[in-house]
Structure 1
Amino acid sequence: MWRHGDRSPVECFPATEELCAERWPQGFGMLTAEGMDLGLELGKALRARYSGGLIRPNYTRTDITVRSSDFDRTLMTAQAVMQGLYPPGSGPKTKDGKNGLTPDRLQPVPEHTVQQSQDTLLLAYDATACPAIAAADVAEQKMHLKEWESVSARWGNIRPLIQNVTGLSDDQTTIGAMYAIWDLLVCEMAHDYALIPALNNATLLREIQEIADFTLAHLFASETQQRLAAGRLVAEFSARFVAAVNNDTQPGWNPQSFPKPDRSRDDVAYGPRFWGYSAHDATIVALLQALGAYDGVHPPYASSVALELIPVKQFNAHAVRGGAPALSASPEDLHAVRGFYNTNQTTGNGAFGPEQAITMACSTRIKSANLIQSGAIPAGSCIVSDFVAGYAPVSMPGDTWKTDCALPSPSPTPLPPAPSASPSPAPAQWSGEQIGATVGSGIGGLVLGSIAAVLIVRSCRPEERRGPATMDTATLLF
């Protein structure tokens, strides 16, 4: 799953509004040329990692499926990623194999999406789609009231200055609006635009960033928040892994769309081995929090999370230290899920930086912990049975989402007033950008027992948020 690439801001400060048309000619929330390049580089990195093994070098429908949220920036990022994954020269040829059928043998790849209002997979964090999230946020705020009070006091110390130099009103500068304010500043800095002089202060910018990171992290801090915001993703990933290890058809795949003679092929029978999701920063944060692997730092543009299915090395129940509980020979115990987080920060030679292995909460379950200790699976990973069982509390099958989200949403309880400022209501609910990608693979095929899920996040600013926006009530920020 990946986040979209660099984009334009979704709002401008009233004090600098006259500069917006010149700076952002495509309008608000649109993928920039730099963002397109980030997507392309990400695709190249995915090609280097997976092409020739998990997937074939040339596009094949049975290898890959891409799902995007219904935003221009995520759809365009998905297209850019696919151009990197299947570069010019890899596209179709004439029947005699001598010439390309598209300019530069370009390979189009389909990206699938659904309406924003119906996207319970990649945009589930939006309170307009899931009212129960607002209630869960209020409960989380009450549980950590002292922390919110402390952060609110810090915000109160700088709020008058922010209002004075930006032209933002009281309603536009609640603590819940901090993420939007920080996002706009990040966008301006990413494009080397001059900041308002009073804001061009490293200490002040660090304070704004820390408050913004706090509000984002606490959107998905509780188990209930994680289940509502990322439960559909966790359930889908679990189902894909279980189907892969059991040589079953991937959910959503239709072998009947092929002629009968082809249906006996493993790739046709089982479906794609790579499932990619193009989404938003909030999608990634929600997923990482549900996995117990979030580091509290806002995901940058085109960052990605990958979940990969691998075989357990030298499976031998007697070789596992601890000895109990007994491991079985079931496919779910013979395969493990490992995770990576790639912040996609370019290095000096233009290549993306190294992927970081993540430690998932399921790795502490006793079977997986014993296998890690014996060297049979990588540190931080877990066998499929532990992945499914360990994340069951935050997993939400699609048929229960509407029921679980239809809970009444109480009015947010205001936080204590910030010093020297107007009262700060409870933080607005951010939903974040969602570019989700899961890479799934059946066991039969090029890579035995490999399934990968990649989530990439864009890195300039938040894109959508839950609940009422403070800078513009019609604006989605992530």
Structure 2
Amino acid sequence: MRNIPICAVFLAACYSNLPICEASHKLHKLKAKLAGEKPNFDTLEYVHVIWRHGDRTPALPLWNEKEIFAEKWSEGQGELTRKGMAQQYRLGDWMRSRYSGFLGDRFDRAEIYVRSSDYNRTLMSAQANMAGMFPPKEHEIWNKSLLWQPVPVHTMPREMDIQINQEADCPVAKAELDRIWNSEEVLKMKEQNKELLTFLGEKFNKPDLQLQDLWIVYDNLFCQQCHNDTHQWPEWMTDTIFKRLVRVYDVTSQFEYHTDLLRRLRGGSLLKEIFERFKAKASGTLSKKTKFFAYSAHDSTIAALLASMGIFLEVFPLYATAVLLELHKVDGKYILEIYHKNITDSPLLYEYEIPGCPIPCSLDKMHEDLIKFFPDNWNEECGLPSNDQSAKKYIVTIIVLAVTCILLAVILVTDFWLHRRKRHRIVSGMEGRSGARPLISDAEEDGDDLDNHEI
């Protein structure tokens, strides 16, 4: 492998005939080198892979197309397309080729674990990816006409997923991002692009279009371009306008993880989880058979993770691209290597040098440098009730409910006892009256009989 200037790494893609939806990403002043097709299996210990889902429909409709969106995109909003399924299948096939000497030839439940965010597009991407990575062989084939086998894909509710769902509620992160959107730098950028914002706002029926809303415009036009066989841009849209839109979108996208606070709250939880697993593998507390952990996620997941490591992308990751974090053991020392497959359907892979930790970078050194981005208690740092507080509230709630139930039971029993006692008194009173002098004596009754007889 050889060092390559970053501009040269991406030169071919920048000037190729690939459509923009499949072009490579540029990196911001980052050292990279072209990696080999396979890692060193003699030293490789563990792998984390984080990929973006495949091609999808627009996440949100344009403001002037809400009524006709379902007609234009039958799959629905933000759903994986057939093109996206194929992209993920090929990515899985590529990973099978890269790690075929590390993982077994067959799917082993003890070796690999796949986790997805709770979105249809990421869950389906994970399944398509695993179909490419682990096609059934010999005794694994359960249907001769279907060369596919089910592979477990795990997930959790979106609101609980603080690792790979960057939209999880975090008031502090939201406030920090709002502060950035209202900063002098952004307001200046807004003024510089006022003409473009006004123009697009008029065309898409969105008065006072803001920079933070520009992604919706970009996303829809980008999806239309990726599906230009069935979808067309508006007649007024030109390559020149779109290129300018892309440039502004690329810059504003960087604001999502612009500060250390955002890097900690949006990328730190996943980074912390990955390092904890690496540390467990290095210490021997993780099963020796466990080798591969995959996250089926989003462009924002990859961007946040890389930002937390000091790697800032000028453009968000493309469809079906992936970041690979490999743990190697070299001469008794654990080394962490970071790779980026940043071009859809390309076999090219680049190794990144982490700022402040030249290659080869030890796991301990990188952990020491990045631990400042590990949240101690994400809920508390986000301004949400902590897990301990939630547990305490839950316990208090259970106690209150229990006491309430007990009081209600006591009231009901007491009420029942009082009614029963009252009824008993009434019955007793009636029985007491039955022992008193009868209204008509026996003699009187006999007299009545006699009189009647005489008559």
The 1:106–1:25 alpha-carbon spacing in structure 2 relative to 1, beyond 3 Å, is same
The 5-angstrom pairing of residues 227-266 of structure 1 reads 227-249=264-286, 266=288
The 1:236–1:156 alpha-carbon spacing in structure 2 relative to 1, beyond 3 Å, is same
Quote the Cα distance in structure 2 between the aligned partners of 1:140 and 1:12.
26
Structure 2 gaps of 5+ residues are 1-49, 386-455
Aligned match of 1:111 in 141, 153, 156? 153
The count of corresponding residues between Structure 1 and Structure 2 is 333
Query: Any idea what the Cα deviations from partners look like across 1:297-351, whole Å, max 9, x if unmatched?
Result: 1211111111001123xx4xxxxxxxxxxxxxxx6xx0111111112323xxxxx
Quote the Cα distance in structure 2 between the aligned partners of 1:243 and 1:159.
50
Which structure carries more relative contact order (alpha carbon 8 Å, separation 6+)? Answer: 1
The 1:17–1:197 alpha-carbon spacing in structure 2 relative to 1, beyond 3 Å, is farther
Q: CA deviation at 1:225?
A: 0.3
Match in the other structure for 1:30: 79
Backbone CA RMSD of aligned residues: 2.0
Match in the other structure for 1:90: 137
Quote the Cα distance in structure 2 between the aligned partners of 1:392 and 1:57.
36
Aligned match of 2:142 in 84, 96, 101? 101
Q: CA deviation at 1:246?
A: 1.8
The 5-angstrom pairing of residues 30-429 of structure 1 reads 30-53=79-102, 55-87=103-135, 89-90=136-137, 92-93=139-140, 100-103=141-144, 104-123=146-165, 125-126=166-167, 129-141=169-181, 145-170=183-208, 173-192=209-228, 193-199=231-237, 201-249=238-286, 266-267=288-289, 272-312=290-330, 315=331, 334-346=333-345, 352-363=346-357, 369=358, 372=359, 377=360, 382-397=361-376, 400-406=377-383
Matched letter for residue 404 of structure 1: E
Tell me if structure 2 keeps the 8 A contact 1:90–1:107.
no
- Once the two structures are overlaid, the 10-residue window that deviates more, 11-20 or 32-41, is 11-20
Tell me if structure 1 keeps the 8 A contact 2:198–2:207.
no
Matched letter for residue 25 of structure 1: S
Quote the Cα distance in structure 2 between the aligned partners of 1:91 and 1:362.
48
Tell me if structure 1 keeps the 8 A contact 2:318–2:342.
yes
Tell me if structure 1 keeps the 8 A contact 2:117–2:296.
yes
Tell me if structure 2 keeps the 8 A contact 1:4–1:278.
yes
Tell me if structure 1 keeps the 8 A contact 2:51–2:296.
yes
Quote the Cα distance in structure 2 between the aligned partners of 1:57 and 1:220.
39
Q: CA deviation at 1:160?
A: 2.3
Quote the Cα distance in structure 1 between the aligned partners of 2:143 and 2:353.
43
Structure 1 gaps of 5+ residues are 94-99, 251-265, 316-330, 347-351, 364-368, 409-478
Quote the Cα distance in structure 2 between the aligned partners of 1:72 and 1:407.
27
Tell me if structure 2 keeps the 8 A contact 1:8–1:29.
yes
Matched letter for residue 133 of structure 1: A
Matched letter for residue 250 of structure 2: D
Structure 1 or 2: more helix by fraction: 2
Quote the Cα distance in structure 1 between the aligned partners of 2:137 and 2:337.
30
Q: CA deviation at 1:16?
A: 4.5
Match in the other structure for 1:260: none
The 1:25–1:394 alpha-carbon spacing in structure 2 relative to 1, beyond 3 Å, is same
Matched letter for residue 292 of structure 2: F
* Structure number with bigger Rg: 2
Matched letter for residue 385 of structure 1: D
Query: Any idea what the Cα deviations from partners look like across 1:197-253, whole Å, max 9, x if unmatched?
Result: 222x22221221122122221110111101100111111111111111222226xxx
Q: CA deviation at 1:15?
A: 4.0
Q: CA deviation at 1:17?
A: 5.0
Match in the other structure for 2:58: 9
Give the fraction of aligned pairs with identical amino acids, expressed as a percent: 29
- Once the two structures are overlaid, the 10-residue window that deviates more, 20-29 or 109-118, is 20-29
Q: Secondary structure at the match of 1:337?
A: strand
Quote the Cα distance in structure 2 between the aligned partners of 1:73 and 1:391.
31
Quote the Cα distance in structure 1 between the aligned partners of 2:88 and 2:306.
21
Query: Any idea what the Cα deviations from partners look like across 1:254-307, whole Å, max 9, x if unmatched?
Result: xxxxxxxxxxxx42xxxx210000011111111111111122112111111110
Q: CA deviation at 1:34?
A: 0.3
Q: CA deviation at 1:14?
A: 4.4
Q: CA deviation at 1:168?
A: 2.4
Tell me if structure 1 keeps the 8 A contact 2:254–2:313.
no
Quote the Cα distance in structure 1 between the aligned partners of 2:283 and 2:259.
33
Matched letter for residue 342 of structure 1: K
Query: Any idea what the Cα deviations from partners look like across 1:77-113, whole Å, max 9, x if unmatched?
Result: 00000001002x33744xxxxxx32344522110000
